[in-house]
Structure 1
């Protein structure tokens, strides 16, 4: 299908260039051109066409530069607004009394799940939750790393310490604590890149960083999930390969073709659900198991231009074939689809009634 799409583009360009050439050749000579050397006229025409091509390229580049600058300004504006909001939240918590150590349920050693992963539901292994995060692309992974790092960490009354595999301690940052009960707020000290960290508890031994979604599991707690083996059942469900429609190709994740299946679209009011498929150009690995494609199920909000992931499954072969490497049905957060690009194209397919 890619070859067909490429062929259509080339044919369209060819027709457009042919029409321009034919129009130029069919124009009658002007009074100034009569009696002049034909070779000189051809050279002059070629120079004129070359100059017009350069002008068109410059115009396209200027337009692209303007779009880039506009997008950069918008991102800077959003970043400034987020920073201001974060500082306002931090100030509001600073005005509250400090949380005494003997009333702080966060103190102690925890396992940082990292990569924007939440603690998985009962019966869902950390490996499967990690797969879902990797397939989605983990926009929050950098925040989780800066807040909590990886592996074992220990919250102490004066701050956060990372515990290496050899048992050595590595201070991360000083901190103060507010709140208590099922919500503890960490206020980092000393020029840390984030303003605050709100941690919500789900039981005594599990917690999640609000908004960002970084997961924590208490070391030695009774609620720790045990790793389970990955499934290796063949990919029998989902649309047949002939039902996938190529939506486009992106350089993300090492390059991949993006497909959608119109036959899976289900609408209810302003919401629509649709399956898509990511077919990777290069092999990826999850816990030593290679996968070449991922089938996802998304819900789209047609009224508010956003979407969220409902489920994802990774496969060892291309186009959703082979064995199942892992899967997750954790519902993700809503994310905007923008006004153009691959996410908006997905939303448009799901929400446009045929």
Structure 2
């Protein structure tokens, strides 16, 4: 809940709850909420819990809104409600979970290929996303299903229905959202469980950032030679997630961390429609084109930080705190110096 702080003679002495709304208040469709969540599920809303989306609802089909795999290969099923939905939404979600629980591996593979618009092998893609030592066996995928229903914080009927089935032993959670309208601007509030922990974007942090090797082998040199952290095409928005003072660790696919730089003061630059970048000051050795690239292996990064990262996106969540980033930068600098 959001409260407005009020003061008398310079002393805060009262808090007033701010009225909130849901998507239906603005005439928005449930699909708007689905697209918003799907686009932000990994890098913002579930910053600390890696999820790999494998399928999204098709129009006029009896399907949940989003299906994703966690590191264990368990299926996470999201049902999103833009306005008041009531207990009927839970019955609907339970049916989706029952259907999904009977999917064969070939069905999972087909849905993933359709979603990713590729012919990638699902176990190998899952292994790469979570940097597992070995891909999970096909029979290990979708052994268990979990339901997450996202809806308006004011939908008491929906909340009560979720609580009922949770007490019956069903793996189901309710995640509330609220929309606030303040000074003609709209703000989206979202809560993750077990508690709402996010790195404050206003604080200095560490960000593991992809060099775009999957799409362009030369993208790394665009960054290294120009002292930049950059993103391209549909991923260029991720540059907006790093701020001056942040430490960016350059993650080169199939290789490891190749350099680290601190983001310099200044605005985001967009020299063309397909590119966005921020200037950085490198604080580690930088690879040179034509020479063997030195890199800290991904496994070593996890050992140093004690974290499991979701490696499949441009930004490798979770973020690092300032102290964690400084420590990793120190270790990376030492590692690259002696190689």
Q: Structure 2 length as normaliser, TM-score?
A: 0.27
Higher-strand-fraction structure: 1
The structure with higher relative contact order (CA 8 Å, sep 6+) is: 2
Q: Structure 1 length as normaliser, TM-score?
A: 0.26
